[in-house]
Amino acid sequence: MKKFLRRTRAVQGFRDCRGNNVIFVPHCALNQNARGPGAAECPAAVTPLITGLMERGIGIVQMPCPELRIFGLDRGDVDVRSELQKDPNRAMCRRIAAVLVEDIQQYRKCGITVVGIIGKNGSPTCGVEETWSHRITPGVGVFVEELSKELRDRGVRTNITGTRDTDPAATLATVDRWLADLQ
């Protein structure tokens, strides 16, 4: 990091304006078109959540969507949760999780604070407090299970919460608590 800073400061007129905070969000928070048919709750993105994060000076890292990678866009008849439990699909979730944990470590290595991870409550994949198994139920999505395990196995601690597209204010209140804890 020091080498990078020395190199960039040597460039005349260079001014680094980064806020040095990032947060990881589910793919569908920035792209509702990735949601399964009939599941999108917003036309494009969860605008109040995304603008709220930006207003707080937090960089946004869009996590890959395991459902999109594994099943594609047309997954209307797929029982996503039970299919994700199968070895090759769970392995894909593990691989995506490993890359994200490497990204978190890289940000931290370069002095950027990872404020946390936001999952998608009600998702069979990215749910944190709620998942989907033919209906919304308490529990964790398959991808978040694998991500949590990867974080634990590598000794990487970070905040994690779930969001509902219809209640971004609650998520932003949680992020505000996380930011206050950083002070």
Q: What is the mean pLDDT of residues 104-110?
A: 97
pLDDT of amino acid 134: 87
Range of the domain at 43: 19-182
C-alpha 121/C-alpha 28 separation (Å) is 12
User: Does a structural domain hold residue 48?
Assistant: yes
Q: How confident is the model at residue 140 (pLDDT cuts 50, 70, 90)?
A: very high
pLDDT of amino acid 77: 85
User: Does a structural domain hold residue 7?
Assistant: no
C-alpha 129/C-alpha 110 separation (Å) is 31
User: Does a structural domain hold residue 9?
Assistant: no
pLDDT of amino acid 76: 76
User: Does a structural domain hold residue 11?
Assistant: no
Question: ∠ at Cα 129 (170, 50), nearest 5°?
Answer: 40
User: Does a structural domain hold residue 125?
Assistant: yes
**pLDDT > 90: percent of the chain:** 81
Angle between helices 142-153 and 87-109 (to 10 degrees): 50
C-alpha 21/C-alpha 63 separation (Å) is 16
Q: Which of 161, 151, 177 is nearest to 117 (CA)?
A: 161
Domain count, the chain: 1
User: Does a structural domain hold residue 13?
Assistant: no
Cβ 29 vs Cβ 123: under 8 Å: no
User: Does a structural domain hold residue 105?
Assistant: yes
